[in-house]
Amino acid sequence: MDPSPVEPVTRRLGITSRIRALVAHVPGEADWLIDVGTNHGILPIAALRAGCAARCVAIDKSRTALAETRRRLRRSGCLDRVRLVCADTLAAVELPAPEHRVVVCLAGLGPRTIVDLLASGLPRIAARPTRLLLNPLVSSAGPRRFLREHGFDLVADETVADRGREYELLVAEAG
């Protein structure tokens, strides 16, 4: 089990080792962090608190999850810097101007879902400086193949121990 402490965001949820590892790969010059499948909204809160993203977009297909995320964002003082989007695709997001540096995070999703989301969103994100943070729940073989086939360079490849599990974290940029 990972001995590192969990920094609380709410009474029940906190910033875990996995979330800290994701935030560590958001470069300080990121204008936008787009968190697809945000669930509890912990990643946007952590990135904003760390000062590594100026603004965030939190996407989730669950209206219930987004309502809870809105509540957490309000309590953490971050709501004014996060746009909430109810969708299950990157196509639903209004992206900032092409000169803005964007980090797209697909964490805690299945590998097939990650590949599908990347495939549908690729035309929209490929024309701008984009970093991808991928954290598949199981095998990373599919996302790795997608990155290779679409000209992305893997800039970091690590395993993160968190709450008794090991998670793969892939960080990629357009080559």
Three-state SS for 45?
Answer: helix
More confident residue, 29 or 40: 40
Three-state SS for 118?
Answer: helix
Domain extent for 66: 7-174
| pLDDT, tens only, 72-102 | 999 999 999 999 999 988 878 887 777 788 9
- Is residue 18 in a domain? yes
Confidence grade of residue 30 (pLDDT, cut at 50, 70, 90): confident
150: which 2 tokens? 């679409």
- Is residue 2 in a domain? no
- Is residue 32 in a domain? yes
- Rounded CA-CA distance 40/72 in Å is 8
Confidence grade of residue 127 (pLDDT, cut at 50, 70, 90): confident
Mean pLDDT of 114-132: 87
Q: Given this model, what pLDDT does residue 5 score? A: 43
Find tokens 């993203």 and name the residue: 53
- How many structural domains does the chain have? 1
Q: Given this model, what pLDDT does residue 135 score? A: 96
Q: Given this model, what pLDDT does residue 13 score? A: 57
- Is residue 1 in a domain? no
Residue 118 is part of a domain; what is its CATH number?
3.40.50.150
What does the DSSP assignment read for 57-68? EEEES-HHHHHH
Mean pLDDT of 17-24: 95
Q: Given this model, what pLDDT does residue 7 score? A: 52
Given a cut of 70, is residue 12 above it in pLDDT? no
Residues 6+ apart with CB under 8 A from 110: 136, 137, 138
Q: Mean pLDDT of all residues in the chain? A: 88
Taking alpha carbons only, the member of 71, 98, 69, 99 closest to residue 86 is: 69
| pLDDT, tens only, 42-80 | 999 999 999 999 999 999 999 999 999 999 999 999 999
Mean pLDDT of 21-49: 93
